[in-house]
Each structure stands twice: as structure tokens, then as C-alpha cells.
Structure 1
Amino acid sequence: MTEAIDIAVRFAGVRLDRGRRTILSGIDLDVPRGSITAVLGPSGSGKSTLLAALTGELAPAAGTVEVFGQPVPQRQRALLELRKSIGVLLQGNGLLTDLTAAENIALPLRTHTSLPRPVIDRLVAMKLHAVGLRNAADLYPRELSGGMARRVALARAIALDPPLMVYDEPLTGLDPIASGVIMNLISELNDNLGLTSIIVTHHVHETLPVADRAVVIANGRIVFAGTPAELEASDDPLVRQFLRGEPDGPIAFDSAARTEAA
């Protein structure tokens, strides 16, 4: 087993329930520090449920979830402290429409720190520069393209310099060029800032080129964990069906078989 010091996130024997229904079970997963791990799977496979356990929104029915060697706490104050170390990029961006790009990025800094205004302004400028939007500080979300809005949301997610970044379907609604920009940014930020990144997505071909590790979730469990090269070489029927986008196979795609949104 990999030494705990090298592990950013660990799921051990985790079962996740929604109400009376088990969404995921038998989840054992280690995310190495400094890595980019792609969590792949069809819509409804439970990817977002996995994220909910990581951020403490959903307590495991069994097993443990650890972030940097510490169990995800249940007490609200401790959980809020943990969440400061986790940056999350939502697929809907979550930008406040009545705030400019700069004001959106400054929000977590003003909320969670006591830094003076000039320091916050400097940090915001640095984050905008990091995502290639130095000239967009005064624009409102309605004035941004889809790709620009996603980059502003990314700048806000890294505002507090979290060591762990989580991307929830980061390419949703983006054209191929904007998707390429976002994936390159994720890779560059991970390397330049020394982050650990988890990308939850069903965009396989766009994500695998920047990933160090790949995990596939289907039918309520992890069906593959390894390198992208090993994933593409796998002859597992579930993996092949997902990668090829085949409607028929061991993964059920009908709505009756899956009611949990990923």
C-alpha cells in the first residue's frame, strides 16, 4: 500500500447511500498527492455522490474518507475548515451575476481572511493572470463567454490556494476550443501550484491526455483504476462499452435502471 504521506485522498471500504438506496459500495480509492485523477463514468453512475462524500456533504454509510490523512469531519466547524483546503469548480460555474469577475474571485478572500483590500486586489489580479483573463476584471458574468466564465470560476476556486482541486464536469457546455483551454489550464495549474486534482467527468477523450490516473465507476462500484494507457488497453466489457459509447452492454443506460444523477 502507498505510504499515507503520499496520499491526498483515500476512500476505504466506503458505501454511500441516498435514502434507502445504495449508490456506491466497496469503494477503495487512493488519490496520490500531486496527481491529476480522472473519475469517469456514465451519467447516473454516482460520480457526484462520490464528490459529496469527499466534501462532507454526504456521510458514508460504511467505511472512511480521508483528506490529507484526516477523516472528513462531521462537525460543522471542522468541516468548514476542511473545505477551505478544497477548491471546487462547479459545472454551472456558480458566479454571482451582480458581481464583476474580480469581485467574484475576491469573495472567498473577503469571507475567509482578514487581508487588507490592497492585498486582496493584488491576489485577485494574480488569479486572473493565472487563467489568462487579466483584462476581464471589470466584466460581469453576462459579458463573458462560456469559456471565460469557466476560467473566472476556476480563478475563484483557487483564490484561497487550496492544495486539493475538484472539478465537477468542467467541460459541460463548452465548445472544443474552450474545452482544450480549460484542460490545459487544469494541467498547468496542477503543475505550477503543486496541486492535487480530481476531475469528475464523462468527457473521456478530452480528459485522459492530462490525467495521471483514471478511475471508472459503473453499476455502483469502481470497475477500473489505473493509468490512462492501461484504461485504453483494457478488455473489460464494462470499460470497453463506456469508452466506445455503446448503448448495449453490461452498463444499463435506461432511466429505470438508474435514477441518481451523477
Structure 2
Amino acid sequence: MTNESPIVRISNLRLERGGRTVLSDINLEVPRGRIVAVLGPSGSGKSTLLAALTGELAPAAGTVEVLGQSVPQRRRDLLELRKGIGVLLQGNGLLTDLTAAENVALPLRAHTRLPDAVIRQLVLMKLHAVGLRAAADAFPRELSGGMARRVALARALALDPPLMIYDEPLTGLDPIASGVVMDLMRRLNDTLGLTSIVVTHHVHETLPVADQAIVIANGRIVFSGTPSQLESSQDPLVHQFLKGEPDGPIAFDAAPRAPEAA
């Protein structure tokens, strides 16, 4: 695999949940070093696409390649692949009875046999990268929402994954904390040589840091291009989503959603 090859390649993908097609005819390549924003209304299938990238959901048709290989079905192979994927969940997922440092150390303790002293230094490096080294011994309840999100980001970076996936990273954050998280995402992507996929409906906060944007609506990709191309698009689907208009080609909540088709 060359450095020029895409870190993610999706071809003719169809995804189903509960016997219902959520996404179809999905084709996408994510070049290395980019931040790609995956945008769309609630229920459009953004999180379903993430489930395919991490191997949680097997394709009904088509292929998904991540880090140069098809996403495996065997659990052992899948766990090995996931070491190269950092995931920041919208709910943070921090364990409340552990300190910030102990939370960040979890992946290192689970997947390496490094001595405690080395793990401690690595944890402090990750917390420093997100501007929270001084909060190493604080518990999640002592952190603001933005700080907790950054601790979760440090934990996602613990194993130095080449690919980062952010699932609605701004949920529950105020505008200032949102700006801090997005700026940090861009800076880490550039300084650490990461590739990032950001699934979000926070369009205006995300586009300034993104290199590429795709919009999912009505079960398919309706736009793929640069943020500036997106903002100048005259496509009715794209226009309705960007403007937040209730009437248009996207039928909001017109039918019951399959579980986890967010």
C-alpha cells in the first residue's frame, strides 16, 4: 500500500438495518491527511456509515476498505484493525470513577504491555496535546463539557491511530467549547499526520476546518466536493439542508427510522 492510496475506499455500498435499506450506491474515497465532513439531517444514515467503517455493520452489498484492507468479519482481525482507528463518541464514554489520566490509559493497558511509568508518560503527552495536562488527576464530574470531550479525544489518540472518526463531536457543547474542539481537531490532524472523518449536522462549525464535504440525504450521497463548492451548490437537496428549510425534497421524519440510523 502506497502513501498515496486512500485511507478509506467505499465502493457500491448498500447498508441495511432491520431489513430496511438505509444507504445505497455509496462510493467514497478519503485521501490521507484530509478532514472529511459527513453531513446530513438526523436519520439520514451518517452513523450507519460509521458502523460500516468500524465493522459493526456488515455491508448488504459492495465493499468497504479501511487502512488498505477490506473490513474483516472475524472478530480477532476486526479488533486488530480497530487499533488503527480512533473513535470519539458523542457521549464521550468516560468512566466516571476513573480520573482523566486513567481514562486515557485504558487503551494502552488493554492493547500494550508497556510498563506503568511509560504509560503514565504517554498519557501525559496525550493530555498535553489536547491542552489538559493539568487536569490529569481530575474526575469527569469535575470537568466542563468541553474539557470532558477533549479527554475523550486524548483517549481516542492513545494508540496513535492513523484514522480518526468523530461522531457528532459538538453535541451538547456551547459555541466557545465547539470552537475549541474544532480548532483542536484541525491542529491535531495536521501536526500528527492524521486523517479524520467527522460525522455531524453542525454544518457551519465544521466546514471551516474541513477539506472535503459530503452530504447524505434520502439514502444516498447527494453532494461530494470542497466546502466552498458545497456552500455555492444550487442542488435543491443541498440547499434545503444548508438552509434548514422544512419543505423540500428531503422528507424530515416522514417514516419511522430503523434503530441507529442516525
Shared fold (TM-score greater than 0.5)?
Answer: yes
1:20 Cα deviation from its structure 2 partner = 1.0
1:69 Cα deviation from its structure 2 partner = 1.8
| Aligned counterpart, 2:250 | 251
| Aligned counterpart, 1:12 | 11
| Aligned counterpart, 2:169 | 170
Give the aligned length: 260
Equivalent residues in 2 for 1:82-231, closer than 5 Å: 82-231=81-230
Closer/same/farther in 2, CA of residues 4 and 135 from structure 1, 3 Å limit: closer
Closer/same/farther in 2, CA of residues 123 and 13 from structure 1, 3 Å limit: same
Q: Is the 8 A contact 2:18 2:258 kept in 1?
A: no
Q: Is the 8 A contact 1:216 1:223 kept in 2?
A: yes
Q: Residue by residue, what CA displacement relative to the aligned partner does 1:38-61 show, whole Å, maximum 9, x if unpaired?
A: 000000000000000000000000
Q: Is the 8 A contact 1:5 1:69 kept in 2?
A: no
* C-alpha separation in 2, matches of 1:69 and 1:84: 14
* C-alpha separation in 2, matches of 1:4 and 1:118: 34
Q: Percent identity?
A: 78
* C-alpha separation in 2, matches of 1:20 and 1:101: 41
* C-alpha separation in 1, matches of 2:112 and 2:3: 30
1:256 Cα deviation from its structure 2 partner = 2.4
* Gaps in structure 1 of 5+ consecutive residues: none
* C-alpha separation in 2, matches of 1:118 and 1:182: 29
SS of 1:165 mapped into structure 2: strand
| Aligned counterpart, 1:71 | 70
Q: Is the 8 A contact 2:4 2:31 kept in 1?
A: no
Q: Does 1:29 align with 2:28?
A: yes
| Aligned counterpart, 1:51 | 50
Q: Does 1:42 align with 2:41?
A: yes
* C-alpha separation in 2, matches of 1:222 and 1:130: 34
1:5 Cα deviation from its structure 2 partner = 3.5
1:257 Cα deviation from its structure 2 partner = 5.6
1:68 Cα deviation from its structure 2 partner = 2.0
Code of the residue aligned with 1:103 in structure 2: it is: E
Code of the residue aligned with 1:45 in structure 2: it is: S
* C-alpha separation in 1, matches of 2:9 and 2:65: 5
Q: Residue by residue, what CA displacement relative to the aligned partner does 1:183-218 show, whole Å, maximum 9, x if unpaired?
A: 001000000000000000000000000000000000
TM-score, with normalisation over the residues of structure 2?
A: 0.97
* C-alpha separation in 1, matches of 2:136 and 2:4: 38
Closer/same/farther in 2, CA of residues 49 and 4 from structure 1, 3 Å limit: farther
SS of 1:7 mapped into structure 2: coil
Aligned CA-pair RMSD: 1.1
* Gaps in structure 2 of 5+ consecutive residues: none
SS of 1:63 mapped into structure 2: strand
1:255 Cα deviation from its structure 2 partner = 4.7
TM-score, with normalisation over the residues of structure 1?
A: 0.97
* C-alpha separation in 2, matches of 1:257 and 1:228: 31
Q: Is the 8 A contact 1:4 1:69 kept in 2?
A: no
* C-alpha separation in 2, matches of 1:229 and 1:146: 30
Q: Is the 8 A contact 2:85 2:164 kept in 1?
A: yes
SS of 2:176 mapped into structure 1: helix
SS of 1:217 mapped into structure 2: strand
1:122 Cα deviation from its structure 2 partner = 0.3
**Range that drifts further, 173-182 or 68-77:** 68-77
**Range that drifts further, 221-230 or 248-257:** 248-257
* C-alpha separation in 2, matches of 1:111 and 1:257: 39
1:19 Cα deviation from its structure 2 partner = 1.9
Q: Is the 8 A contact 1:24 1:220 kept in 2?
A: yes
Code of the residue aligned with 1:22 in structure 2: it is: T
